Structure 1
Amino acid sequence: MEERMYGVVLWTDKRQDNAVIWCEDHGNLAFYSSAEQSAHRGTPLDAGDLIQFDLREESEIRRARNPERVNANYAPDLVSKLKPAGQPLTEGNVIAFPG
């Protein structure tokens, strides 16, 4: 089953056109690979980009397909904010999507 989802790109490998995405539902991260059939064409995704994509759950992996950039450089400092918060989740360290 697929659903449309927003997310922020956390990491990319531009040589292989892969990305890891933080999803708006704060569930598991999603993985994007251009090796799969995709409608995405053009400029590679960058960390901090806000995208909308089709999300499909496969076993224990969430896969992003057909990403569309909504806002380039939407959250450029998100990764640096998440690193110190990388301890067990408590009410005090939940980081909200910007804006």
Structure 2
Amino acid sequence: MIGIILWSDAADRKAVIWCEDQGDLAYFSDPDLTYSDDTFLDVGDVVEFEVKTQRNMRLAANPRWIKQNAGSTLADGLRAVPMTQDHVISNTAQVIPFRAEPAPRARHTREDVKKRLG
């Protein structure tokens, strides 16, 4: 599965991933990872991962970077969508534009990631 990191916590080694199939979000948690805080998954990173369902929740495993910081504006776009007070489901969809950032961050190079992931 491929997805975009919507939220992450480097200290707790947790992340929430929006999946390519537009189904339920996937949750990643692995407190034993050897990532340093500055190389953990960041909001906007596009990752490939294995997914399994446990107790009606999607769990992500073995995330691998495809592109870093490609969708950093996506989480902000989702937060900006207004919610109705009664949460009525409408018959129309609201499309959130997805635009890739112009350049990847320099602090995570492909070689650095390969070295850390083994």
TM-score under structure 2 normalisation? Answer: 0.68
Query: Which of 12, 18, 21 pairs up with 1:25?
Result: 21
Structure showing greater radius of gyration is: 2
Identity fraction in percent? 34
Aligned ranges for residues 1-99 of structure 1 at < 5 Å? Answer: 5-35=1-31, 43-85=39-81, 87=83, 88=89, 91-95=92-96, 98=99
TM-score computed with the length of structure 1 as normaliser:
0.79
Change (3 A) 1:55 1:14: same
Structure whose residues are more often helix by fraction = 2
Q: Gaps (5+ residues) in structure 1?
A: none
Distance 1:12 1:26 in 2: 19
Q: For 1:74-96, what per-residue CA distance to the aligned partner results, in whole angstroms no more than 9, with x for missing partners?
A: 11100111112253565331336
More strand by share: 1
5+ residue gaps, structure 2, are 84-88, 101-118
- Which structure ranks higher in relative contact order (CA pairs < 8 Å, sequence separation ≥ 6)? 1
List, as ranges, runs of 4+ consecutive aligned residues in structure 1 with deviation greater than 3 Å.
86-92, 96-99
Per the alignment, residue 114 of structure 2 pairs with none
What do residues 42-93 of structure 1 show as CA deviations (whole Å, max 9, x unaligned)? 6200000000000001121100000001000011100111112253565331
Number of corresponding residues: 93
TM-align CA RMSD? 2.4
